[in-house]
Amino acid sequence: MTTHPITPEWVKDAIFYQIFPDRFAASARVPKPSNLEAWDSPPTREGFKGGDLLGVLERLDYLEALGIDAIYFNPIFQSAANHRYHTYDYLQVDPILGGNDAFDALLAAAHTRSIRIVIDGVFNHASRGFFPFHHVMENGASSPYVDWFTFNSFPVNAYDADGSPNYGAWWGLPALPKLNTDNPQVWNYLMGVAEYWVRRGIDGWRLDVPLEITTPGFWEEFRRRVKAIDPETYILAEIWYEAGPWLQGHHFDATMNYPFNRACLNFFGGSALDTSIKPGDFQLQPITGTAFADAIDQLLSLYAWDVTLAQFNLLSSHDMARFLTMVGGDRQRLKLATLFQMAFPGAPSIYYGDEVGMEGADDPDCRRAFPWDEARWDHDLLDWFQRCTALRRAHPALRRGTLHRLHADESTYAFARRLEGETLVAAFNVGDAPATLTLPADLTQAAPFRDLLSGASLSLADGALVLPPLSASLAAATQTPS
C-alpha cells in the first residue's frame, strides 16, 4: 500500500459545476410523464420538475462559457424520489432523465469538450423498490435475498407511516433500507456497479455517506477495483468534517470540503451571515481575518499536498441553504468568496445557479429549478464568475502553486500563490471601511504588480495595499520576486 496518497491529476486543474438533475434543464427530446410541477414553482419534497440529461447536453455551450470543465451530478439512477438518493436500479439511468442512452450521449458530448463527469453513488442504502428488498416484501423470511438487509421480524413493515421499520434503515427512514455490506453477495454486487459505470466512461464517483458503511475492507476494495480500470478515476467522499484517516491513499481521493465552506461563510458572511441556519447541524459565527487565516492554515496542514489539491471546495450544495441566502442576498460577499475559492488550492465547485444569483433556504428550497429566462439573471454576477474561472484557468499558480500567508487582521486577509516563477497576491477586505494591508517588503519591492481584476498597476510602496470596503485584489508580479 502506498505511503504517499496519489490523486487524479486532472482534478487538480478542474473547475466543477454541481447539477441537481431534476432542476437544471429539460429537453423536449425526452418524453415525460404528465404530472410534473411547474418549472418555476417552489420546489417540494415529493414533486418532480422534469429536468433531464439531454437538457444538460443542450446547455454545454453555457457551461463551457462559464469556464467549468467537470460536472458532478447528484444521483441519476432509477428512483422514486426527485433527488434519487432512493435507488431502485443501479444499472439504469432514470427514464425521466432520458435513460442510459441520454447519459451515453451526454458523456460523449462532454468528453468531446474535455468536460469530465462524476456521478453520485449511494451504496449505504437502497430503496423499497430495489429488487432484492421488493423480493423480501413479497416472500418474507423465505426470500433468498433476506440477508441483503437486516430484518428484525416479518412481515416487512415498510409503509406504516406511524410506526418504525422492522429492518435497518438510514436514519430510521422506511424508504431507505440499509444494505448489509457484510454479505459477500451485496459487497460484490456494489463493486460490480462501481466497475460497470467506470468502464462505461465516468470520470469519478461521489460517495454518499460512505462512513456509514463499516464493513472492514469495503472502501479499500472499492478503490482497488475502480483504480484498476482507470487510475485517474476520482473518488470523492461526502464527509462534513476533517477526514485524515480516510485520505491516506487507501480509501478516498478527497472529501466534499465542508470545513472550507464553513470558514468562507464565517469570514465572507461577516455581519450579514444568518447564524440561525446550521448547515450539517454546524453552528456558524462571523470571524475575523486573523481567525480565518488560522482556519485556512489548519486546512492546509491536514492532508498531503496531493490530497489538498484534489479537495472539492464548495460554497453551496444541495444539502444546505445557498451561500447567497446565508449572507442575506449580499452579492458582493458572494463575489469575494468566489474569488477566494478560485484562488485557493483544490477543485472549486459552483452549485448550479449560484452564478446567476439563485437563492434558496434549506432543502428543498435550495433545489429550485434553474431560471432559463435570462431576464432573471444577475448578469453582473455571472460576468464575475466567468472572470474568476478564467483567471484560475490562465494562472497555474492558482491551481497548483504553494500558498503563503501574508497578512491578516480584523477584517482583512492576504496570501500569495507561487509556482515556477509566477507569484500572485490575493487580498480581501470584508469590512465596511477602507483598510490598509501591510505586505512583506521583500515581496512588494522586488517586482511591480498588476491587478488582474482591473488591469491597473499597483503601487505597493512600503508594502502597503489599500482596499476599499468589501473589496478584493488579485495581483500578479510582472517578474519573479527573489
- The domains of the chain are located at 10-124+179-394, 399-477
Residue with more model confidence, 444 or 366: 366
220 as an active site residue: the answer is: no
Active-site choice (22, 120, 203, 238) = 238
Q: Residue 480: what pLDDT?
A: 52
Q: Residue 445: what pLDDT?
A: 67
Residue 221 binned pLDDT confidence (cut-offs 50, 70, 90): very high
Q: What is the mean pLDDT of residues 191-214?
A: 98
Q: Residue 478: what pLDDT?
A: 67
Q: What is the mean pLDDT of residues 445-454?
A: 82
Determine the CATH number of domain 10-124+179-394.
3.20.20.80
Identify the sign of the CA torsion 351, 352, 354, 360.
Answer: negative
Element (H, E) at 226: helix 218-229
238 as an active site residue: the answer is: yes
Active-site choice (94, 208, 330, 359) = 208
**Domain 399-477: CATH class, spelled out:** mainly beta
Q: Which three cell numbers stand for residue 303?
A: 492532508
Q: Residue 461: what pLDDT?
A: 62
pLDDT digits (tens, 9 = 90+) for 251-282: 999 999 999 999 999 999 999 999 999 999 99
pLDDT digits (tens, 9 = 90+) for 379-402: 999 999 999 999 999 999 999 999
Residue 451 binned pLDDT confidence (cut-offs 50, 70, 90): very high
Distance between CA atoms of 3 and 238, rounded to whole angstroms? 23
Q: Residue 282: what pLDDT?
A: 97
Q: Residue 457: what pLDDT?
A: 81
pLDDT digits (tens, 9 = 90+) for 72-128: 999 999 999 999 999 999 999 999 999 999 999 999 999 999 999 999 999 999 999
Q: How far is the CA of 80 from the CAs of 75, 84, 127, in angstroms?
A: 12, 7, 8
Q: Which residues of 455-477 are buried (b: 16+ CB within 10 A; e: fewer)?
A: eeebebeebebebeebbbbbbbb
As a whole-number percent, the residues of the chain with pLDDT over 90 amount to 91
Residue 333, pLDDT above cutoff 60: yes
Q: Residue 269: what pLDDT?
A: 98
Q: Residue 482: what pLDDT?
A: 45
Q: How far is the CA of 364 from the CAs of 278, 320, 322, 361, in angstroms?
A: 15, 9, 11, 8
User: What type of residue sits at position 469?
Assistant: P
pLDDT digits (tens, 9 = 90+) for 17-36: 999 999 999 999 999 999 99
Element (H, E) at 413: strand 412-419
Q: Residue 481: what pLDDT?
A: 45
As a whole-number percent, the residues of the chain with pLDDT over 70 amount to 97
